[in-house]
Amino acid sequence: MRAVAQAADLDQHSVIGREFGNVVIVKELGRGSMGGVYIGYQKSLKRQVAVKLLPRHSGDSGRSQRQFRDEAETVAVLSHPYIVPIFEMGEDHDYFFQVMQLISGADLGCMIRNRLKHPVASRRLLPPARIIDILVKVLEGLGYAHREGVVHQDIKPANIMIDESAHRPLIVDFGIAKTARMEFWGQGLVVGSVLYLSPEQAAAQETDRRSDIYAMGMVLFEALAGNLPLRQDEDEKRILLRKIKRPETLFTLAPGECSPNIDEAMEKIILKALSPRREERFTSCEAFRSALMHWKPPVTQ
């Protein structure tokens, strides 16, 4: 659903040992929608960093390059402990590159999935207190971005990294963020990850902070329940159409029916964040954050 570079254009063997700025590429971490991500060694400060590479010839008329630059310029103006910092951006004859903090840990999506594999059924969900601690901090960082005029537009568990060394979450991937200074170049296109899109974003309408709040509601629901109650026969296209035409029918079960972690008070919080009508959602990340901080987990926990 999102205009992306062709990650296949990257030749991992050709970039290992290559220098970008004063960073030497050491090892590939993975491929994504915006090129490849590598571990690099920053010679000037003698530390490991993450390096994102995008081939100059990505086959999409320069749109991915512009998006890549927009991400770096957006994050560069954001300084917050729960937003991953970008240290440097540049280019050479073959690639555009970003140098950023290397995060030692997993993303929230991996944490949710790994927990579901626990051999003891009663321990297949993350502890509610842990989830709330993570998401309260994410909402703090996201609220800061909103005050700076930035709407992320792609909030999902995979874009919430948990830094094990510092014990804190970090919001990553501002690749399709919209700013007050320069809105996303692809207006009229559906951008983002289908499952977490707000109804207005699914319909390619104007987005604002409440679109991110919807996505955070989806993350909260998924983290507490382990899985979202969706129709098994619906692919992304059908989910997208349902969000546009009948968003109130997205789930097959109410939140409280999905997990003992979700009591009546938490169900109200989730449903408020996920209201199909944006004016009925939390008005800000601060209001959402306050509701979570005042919530008490069920006694059974």
Domain CATH for 144: 1.10.510.10
What is the longest distance spanned by two Cα atoms in the chain? 60
Contact 185, 67 (CB under 8 A): yes
For residue 279, the model assigns a pLDDT of 97
**Per-residue pLDDT at 281 exceeds 60:** yes
Q: Are residues 71 and 117 in the same domain?
A: no
Domain for residue 235, yes or no?
A: yes
The count of domains in the chain is 2
Q: Are residues 54 and 198 in the same domain?
A: no
Q: Are residues 134 and 69 in the same domain?
A: no
For residue 107, the model assigns a pLDDT of 96
Q: Are residues 117 and 95 in the same domain?
A: no
**If pLDDT is split at 50, 70 and 90, which confidence band does 109 have?**
very high
DSSP, res 252: S
Q: Are residues 89 and 131 in the same domain?
A: no
Closest CA to 260 of 214, 210, 215, 300: 300
Q: Are residues 166 and 262 in the same domain?
A: yes
Domain for residue 73, yes or no?
A: yes
Domain for residue 24, yes or no?
A: yes
23 forms bridges with which residues in the sheet? 20, 42
Q: Are residues 149 and 268 in the same domain?
A: yes
Q: Are residues 189 and 256 in the same domain?
A: yes
Q: Are residues 146 and 270 in the same domain?
A: yes
Given 70, 154, 173, 263, which residue is catalytic?
Answer: 154
Domain for residue 39, yes or no?
A: yes
Domain for residue 299, yes or no?
A: no
- Domain span including residue 73: 7-100
Q: Are residues 133 and 174 in the same domain?
A: yes
Question: Does residue 94 carry a catalytic annotation?
Answer: no
Contacts 24+ apart (CB under 8 A), 4-7: 4/33, 4/34, 4/60, 4/64, 5/33, 5/34, 5/35, 5/54, 5/55, 5/58, 5/59, 5/60, 5/64, 5/68, 6/55, 6/58, 6/59, 6/60, 7/31, 7/32, 7/33, 7/34, 7/35, 7/36
Domain for residue 2, yes or no?
A: no
The radius of gyration of the chain's CA atoms, rounded to the nearest angstrom, is 19
**Per-residue pLDDT at 300 exceeds 60:** no
Domain boundary among 77, 100, 123: 100
For residue 69, the model assigns a pLDDT of 83
Q: Are residues 85 and 54 in the same domain?
A: yes
Domain boundary among 61, 81, 100: 100
Average pLDDT over the chain reads 89
CATH assignment at residue 13: 3.30.200.20
Q: Which of 98-112, 168-182, 209-223, 231-245 has the lowest mean pLDDT?
A: 168-182
Instruction: Give pLDDT tens digits for 159-203.
Output: 999 998 888 999 998 888 887 655 444 555 566 789 999 999 999
**If pLDDT is split at 50, 70 and 90, which confidence band does 218 have?**
very high
Domain boundary among 100, 121, 144: 100
For residue 2, the model assigns a pLDDT of 41
Domain for residue 198, yes or no?
A: yes
DSSP, res 44: T
Q: Are residues 117 and 79 in the same domain?
A: no
Domain for residue 191, yes or no?
A: yes
**If pLDDT is split at 50, 70 and 90, which confidence band does 17 have?**
very high
Contact 273, 282 (CB under 8 A): yes
The arithmetic mean of pLDDT across residues 147-155, rounded, is 95
Closest CA to 203 of 155, 248, 245: 245
